[in-house]
Amino acid sequence: TQLLEQSPQFLSIQEGENLTVYCNSSSVFSSLQWYRQEPGEGPVLLVTVVTGGEVKKLKRLTFQFGDARKDSSLHITAAQPGDTGLYLCAGDRTGGFKTIFGAGTRLFVKA
Amino acid sequence: DTGVSQDPRHKITKRGQNVTFRCDPISEHNRLYWYRQTLGQGPEFLTYFQNEAQLEKSRLLSDRFSAERPKGSFSTLEIQRTEQGDSAMYLCASSSNRGRGHSGNTIYFGEGSWLTVV
């Protein structure tokens, strides 16, 4: 059982569409991170959210941390083929330093 | 480039052989992590160091696996008597505990070392 559940597992959309991916847990996290990973490469950090209810924007990407710090979402506006990749959420629980990962959402954006 | 670097990037080995991977973290980072990732899965935690001390090991890390960070800088991950099930990408990451309250424990990854056991 994954401590961090990501949904959906797979998403295939047309260029220009909007999408949201989710990261949920029953545990409280002191912070959550979102990473994007391309095949054969290590994950690349997109954002860290620390405060419950926090919203961060990175160009067309909007990240939100749940008020209770148990969940997070990533919204992409007007998706582009360059957004294709594996999106991973990760977090460290309060009082811990071991970062754990969800299984990821694999996004494919068709031109 | 001052990011996390891993070596080698790819390794093909015969079953039963030993392999060793090296990781050089970001220079000012005192924490170093090893993860394993198989196709279609997120990274799975193996172990982490704070300076030279190995503070936590996953149950995934069988006695054939050993990690060291002798001087609190680079780290090595050795797999003895490799098995086909060890085939995966081994990821190293590092972080700093400075300013954690503002930035969380954000970890930064290297490009990974691919292991294929034949």
pLDDT in tens, B31-86: 999 999 998 899 999 999 999 999 988 888 889 999 999 988 999 999 999 999 99
The answer to whether residue B100 scores a pLDDT higher than 90 is no
Residues of B whose CB is below 8 A from A44: 109
For residue A94, what pLDDT is reported?
A: 66
| Bridge partners (DSSP) listed for residue A36 | A44, A87
Determine whether the interchain pair A42/B42 forms a contact, defined as Cβ–Cβ distance below 8 Å: no
Give residue B28's pLDDT band: very low, low, confident or very high (50, 70, 90): confident
Give the residue-averaged pLDDT of B10-38. 95
Residue A30 touches partner B, C-beta closer than 8 Å: yes
**pLDDT at residue B106, rounded to an integer:** 84
3-state secondary structure of A81: helix
- The reply to whether residue B50 touches residue A99, judged by beta carbons under 8 angstroms, is no
Q: Closest to A45 (Cβ–Cβ): which among B31, B50, B106? A: B106
Give one word for B104, left, alpha or beta, with left for phi > 0 and alpha for psi -120 to 50.
left
| Cα–Cα distance for residue pair B19/B65, rounded to 1 Å | 10
pLDDT tens digits along A36-92: 999 889 999 999 999 999 999 999 999 999 999 999 999 999 999 999 999 999 998
- Beta carbons within 8 Å of A53's beta carbon, 6+ residues apart: A64, A65, A66, A67
Contact B42 A48 (CB under 8 A): no
Which of B4, B50, B111 minimises the CB distance to A41? B111
Confidence of residue A2 (pLDDT cuts 50, 70, 90): low
